[in-house]
Amino acid sequence: MDWQTNEDTVPSGFITEAQIRSVLGKPPASGAWREGDPVGRRRFADIGDFAFESGQVLPKVRFAYETYGTLSPARDNAILVLHALTGDSNLNHPAEPGHPTDGWWPGLVGPGLPIDTDRWFVVAPNMLGGCQGTTGPSSTAPDGLEWGPRFPFTTIADQVRAEHELTERLGIERWFAVIGGSMGGMQALEWAVAYPDAVERLAVIAAPALSSADQIALNSVQVQAIRADPLFHGGDYYDAPDGEGPHQGLALARRMALLNYRSPSELNDRFQRSWQSGISPLGGGGRFAVESYLDFHGNKFTRRFDANTYITLVEAMNSHDIGRGRAGVVSALESVTARSLVVGIDSDRLFPVADQEFIAAHLPDTLDGTDPVVIESKFGHDGFLIEFDIVGREIARLLAE
């Protein structure tokens, strides 16, 4: 069987939980990076006590981040790249000790690539509330226990204010570009509205101006899947032995999410009605290949992510409304001063093209007037993580203009 770290790799043959465990072992109670684990290529920066929009203050907040390229003496070549819901600070290097998965944008960031690290200095932080080194629910609180369900309700605006604190610690006054896709695109848009003087160029990829009721509903069932796991224990599961955490609920949430990330045509063309095993599903003993695909990735996900973190970040996505406290969405968008690129994916059923059309129609200075760039991809929402040539061409255009 092929057990590569690439999220889209599916082993051949009939896959069961027992087979996965026979290769990978039991899943941990939490797949978060923890103190004492290999640091890998992470760097760390403390931003001190941080006040959330809820009014709760968290002491000693820390960011994990990675950098690529060299900051110019004038500090004018810095680009901030913001990851999606389950991403992290690894943009382009292979999985290695401390980094459980391959980089998520290897075709876009690096020497000679669209975000050319021979020219640009790239900063990629793990977002606030994350589980790969930045303070989040799996981090240790002053009482020696994990924050767990005590971690504050976190908004996209909270995450961006924290990133702005990180920016100040790094001594960067202005980003040449802030780039993000999906949840990272929400943050990129918030950056451009909240800190217009700090953002020269903006790329919003496969993201909306606010989360809709439909999108919130899709998120809510994922959260309930985790909370319904009997081993979730109200979020206090970190001291459970390996294999006793809420990995079944987290895996189910991941399966649900994958159905929104991929397009119906891609799944239909890829799997059709084929099954894996020698027994027909009509006989009660087989499994459709698409079921094995979902099970494999759901179970694999539990080995690199944390259940409380998933809830925290999904609820942060639900909070996204660029117009909140700003006289509405249109007023907020019209306040953006950055030269902007808005990208949608024609097969995206999570954040449809209509979301990007609305953003582009109200940003004052976009590359393509009042229209977004719409890329054709069979991969649905995940197209921005797969279509490197197409997405890279558009980002290179933004950086060159």
* Percent helix / strand / coil, the chain, rounded to 5: 35, 15, 45
Partner residues linked to 288 by β-bridges: 275
Dist CA 105 CA 199 (whole Å): 21
Torsion of CA 13, 19, 23, 29, to 10 degrees: 130
Asked if 178 contacts 336 with a C-beta cutoff of 8 angstroms, the reply is no
- The tokens 């590359």 sit on which residue? 367
Tokens of 77: 């070549």
- The enclosing H or E element of 344 equals strand 339-345
Residue carrying structure tokens 């069987």 = 1
Structure tokens at 212: 């809709």
Angle between helices 289-301 and 264-271 (to 10 degrees): 120
Question: For residue 253, which phi and psi values (nearest 5 degrees)?
Answer: -60, -40
Catalogue the active-site residues: 182, 348, 381
Spatial separation of the C-alpha atoms in residues 145 and 238, rounded to whole Å? 9
